[in-house]
Structure formats: structure tokens, C-alpha cells
Structure 1
Amino acid sequence: MQHLPVTPEEPASAAGVDTPAFSPLYQQIKALILRSLQAGEWKPGEAIPSETELAGRFRVSQGTVRKAIDELAAENLLVRRQGKGTFVATHSERQVEYRFLRLKPDEGDLDSEGPAQRSILDCRRARATGDVARGLGLRPGDPVIQVRRVLSFKGVPTILEDLWLPGVAFKGLTADALASYPGPTYALFEEEFGVRMVRAEERIRAVAADPSQAELLGIAPGSPLLSVERTAYTYGDRPMELRRGLYRTDTHHYFNELQ
């Protein structure tokens, strides 16, 4: 690693930071914008400075800033609005509300089904087991918030979910808050706890419903379910949620667009 010298075509803020010599300049600007997002300089839903202002701030061309912003917008971290500017993406917006939910109805789409109805079965403080601690980057025994809920579409129980959240970051989260919040759960996390989920990883397998799961989902024991384990991350690749969901697939299917 070597320290990059500051020149008119390099951001002053990058001086003294170990950056690979082969890193394109726009990638360095992207990293600096991400650093500001992580530090909370611009909150979800807020406008970021214009390309001209950012170019002056980082001492680079406007085109370099535009390319960095283009990548962040493609990653759903920023949102461009014609004639208004560029804003920090929020899970409150319709275009990203179901960003991490890949379950689609066999006919129509999730928007046509309306918002999911949430039934909170449990929300309590617990101690992280070994596998939960590994998933969240915690130590076994650290405090976590454990949530169990059923999501229904058009009144039909469709998803049974167990969630684990770091107890320190989500201190004060209650079942009433989860049940009464009118928007997406990730928007609640943004607004009330300052935690924005920016990416997720999933592991999927087919399973058969056991009797207790079948009762909660209104299906026969042994019915096929799709088991989806998701780890959601905030800025800096910090895991902030472990979620295990069981999806009914009699009227829905898992959809993912590959590019």
C-alpha cells in the first residue's frame, strides 16, 4: 500500500488514506461519499450536495463525481430525481420498499396485493446463541432483539419470519412499534434507530412445514415451504439483521432478476 499524493485530479480528503494505486478516481470519490453516508452527514430522504458542489469539495471534475453517483444510484443507495437533485435512498420509497423481498404472487405483483399485514407473535430481548452471534458479528451471549411475526397478503398468511437484531443498536424496539408502524419495517429502522440496510445476502432451501409452522401459516403439515435465511448489512458491511423466513409457494414464487 502507498499513500496517494494530492493533485488537482485527486480528492484532498483521500490524502493519507491507504488506497490501492489502481483504484479509479471515481471509485475513491464513491468511497468518500459512502463515508459521509455512513457518518450520517446526509440522512435517508435528504438531498446530497450537487455534483458541482461535490466536485469542488473533492477537487475533481464534475464528470468524476457523476460517475461515482451513478454507481451509488445503481446500488439503490442514492436516488436521482429529475429537476430536484440526488437524494439518499430510503426504504420508505415505493421503488425500494420491497427491494429485499423476492416473493412474487403468481398473478400480478406485490403492489397489486397491497401492503403486507403484519402479525407480531413475539418481540423480546434475548441472548445471542452461537449461530445468531456469528451471523450478526456478535459474541455468544450478547443482547439481541428476537422477533417472530407472520406476514399476510390479502388476508392469507404467507410468510413466517424470525428476526434477530443487535440489542444495543435496537434498544427500545417493541412489538407495538413493529405492529403500528404504517410503512416498511426497514423504514422504521431508519427513522427510529438510524440503521439503514444497504445490502443483503440470502441462502435458500426447500423444507417441509412442521405442525407448528403449518398451523401459523394455515397449511397442512408437510406442505412445501421455501426457507430463506437473510443477513442484512448497513454501511461498512456491518451485519444488522439476521432473518429466517418460511415462504408459502402455493400462490407465490421466488423471483430474482440476474444481470
Structure 2
Amino acid sequence: MPPPPPPSTEDPPSMSGSVGSVTPAFSPLYQQIKGLILHSLQHGEWKPGEAIPSEIELAARFRVSQGTVRKAIDELAAENLVTRRQGKGTFVSTHTERQVQYRFLKLLPDEGDASVEGPAQRTILECRRARASVEVARILALRAGDPVIQIKRILSFTGVPTILEDIWLPGQAFKGLTAEQMAHYQGPTYAMFEIDFGVRMVRAEEKIRAVLPDETQAQWLNVTCSTPLLSVERLAYTYNDAPMELRRGLYRTDTHHYYNELS
């Protein structure tokens, strides 16, 4: 029996057992389907690395055409939220995949590439539960005084301290995070967040400026106070633009460069 005809934009699709439209009814139909798929991703229906249903199955589920579903998935793939694998299907993107790992790694060696250099050696200077300041609360969409996890660490490459980072994470989402976890996890930090806490970073915004370090920062990075550094402030988001990490780093660029690909 053929599937029922696609609904009009005045009659948005709904998900069985959930609320109706996740996006406004005036948005294009494929955008509504994209919103419903995002809703399922956000609520863990399909985990990172798992296959999502086929386009035909999703079309039947949402009572729309396969072409509408394909257009929605095209956008999700372009945003690196899902990954198409030829002959295998479409999978939820994960930070354990090589191509996704390096989306967020912007400091690269002048000679060779990141894979040749190997993973950073992590030195955790501090990992503690704290109360969010007014500024941190505003950036992470919390209330002042809400619990946060505050981390300070050094990332070294081939034994050379290269990045000094301060990280703030919402305390509720990362309850139980320890310095040992941060120091000893062998893969990317975002993969550990994904596996151990179910938080997947899907995009980030960064502000970059040139600065000089203060005396303490210079000591941690083994440079002089007159050494120019890159100051990089990153705000990383999970699904539905929920901010989940504030990261402020100082980067040495005497043997590395900050790389960004624009398209």
C-alpha cells in the first residue's frame, strides 16, 4: 500500500508519541523534517556512530516524500551531524571518527600533519567543581552560582608545552568528571564527552586575537612575557544551539600554525 501523500506546510508532520511540530509551521517542509530528526538526535534515539533509519523508513514515519527526507539529511550531512557511507547508510557523526576529530583541531604543526605528530600530551593543572561567575553563566546560558566544572590544562606536542587552556563546563551535564578522565583518555576530549557523558559538540564559535602572556602563563608555556601568543576563545554547542563548553586557550605558534578552511 503506497504511503499517504505528503502533508502541506500548513499541516506539519508529527512524531509518534511526541509533540507535533518541532519547527514553525511556516518553514519549508524539509526543514521541519530536519527539525524532527534533530529532536531524535538530541534525545538519544540514535547514538553517535549508530545508523539512522533509511530515507524510505523516515519518509513513511513522517508521512512525506523520500525526496523531502533526502534534502533534510543533505543539510544534516553538510553540518557534520550525520555521515553518509556508500552502500551502508547514514550514521550519526561521532568525534571518534578521524574526519570529525580534526574539525575542531585547528593548531597544526608547521612540518608534517597532526597524525604524524601524534596526540597531545595532557597535563591537568586543575579540575574542580565551582560556581559559575556572572560572565561564565551568561555565556553558558546558566544562572550565576550554578555548578560548573572548571579545568586548567597544558597540551604539549613532542614534549613542548604548546597550548594553555581554561575550560568551563555545565556541572549538571558533566557531573563526576575527574582530572584522571581528562588526563588519561587516549582519544579527543570531545569523544570522551560524547562517550562518557552523552554530550556531543556539533559546532563552535571562536574569537581570536594576538596577546602577550602574563608571567604565570609564560612560565606554564616556557616562553618569555614578550612572546606573542594566539588567544582563542571557543564556545561549543550541542544540538539545538545549547552552549556546553567555554574554552579559552593561549597558543604558541613558533612551531605550529592556526589552520582554518573556508568554504
Same fold (TM over 0.5): yes
The superposition leaves residues 204-231 of structure 1 with CA deviations (integer Å, 9 ceiling, x where unpaired) of 1110011111111111222100000011
Match of 2:74 in 1: 70
1:8 corresponds to which letter in structure 2? P
Q: Find the counterpart in structure 1 of residue 24 from structure 2.
A: 19
Which of 23, 31, 36 is 2:35 aligned to?
A: 31
1:8 to 5, 10, 17: 5
CA distance in 2 between partners of 1:198 and 1:131 (Å): 23
SS at match of 2:237: strand
Aligned partner of 2:177 in structure 1 is: 173
**Aligned position for 2:248:** 244
Q: Is the 8 A contact 2:52 2:90 kept in 1?
A: yes
8 A contact 1:201–1:232 mirrored in 2: yes
Give percent identity, aligned residues only. Answer: 74
Q: How does 1:1-259 map to 2 (within 5 A)?
A: 8-10=5-7, 12-13=13-14, 17=21, 19-21=24-26, 23-259=27-263
User: Aligned partners of 2:123, 2:20: CA distance in 1, in Å?
Assistant: 51
Q: TM-score, normalised by structure 1?
A: 0.93
Residues 228-257 of structure 1: CA deviation (Å, up to 9, x unaligned): 001111111111110000011111111212
For the 8 Å contact 2:154–2:162, the answer to whether it is kept is yes
Q: Distance in 1 between matches of 2:133 and 2:87?
A: 50
Conserved in 2, the CA contact under 8 Å of 1:210 and 1:222?
Answer: no
TM-aligned CA deviation for residue 101 of structure 1: 2.4
CA contact 2:13–2:62 (8 Å) conserved in 1: yes
Please, which runs of 5 or more residues in structure 1 have no aligned partner? 1-6
Give distance in 2, aligned partners of 1:93 and 1:162: 25
Where does structure 2 lack aligned partners over 5 or more consecutive residues?
Answer: none
Displacement after TM superposition at 1:16 (Å): 5.0
Q: What is the SS of the residue equivalent to 1:13?
A: coil
CA-to-aligned-CA distance 1:88-141 (integer Å, 9 cap, x gap): 001111101121222122222212211111111110011111111111111111
SS at match of 1:12: coil
Change beyond 3 A, Cα 1:16–1:55 = closer
3-state DSSP class of the match of 1:63? helix
Q: Which residue of 2 aligns with 1:3?
A: none
Contact 2:54 2:90 in 1 (8 A): yes
**Whole-angstrom distance in 2 between the partners of 1:16 and 1:175:** 42
Structure 1 outlier segments of 4+, above 4 Å: none
Q: Which deviates the most, 34-43 or 56-65?
A: 56-65
Separation in 2, partners of 1:226, 1:12: 47
Q: What is the distance in 1 between the residues matched to 2:225 and 2:24?
A: 55
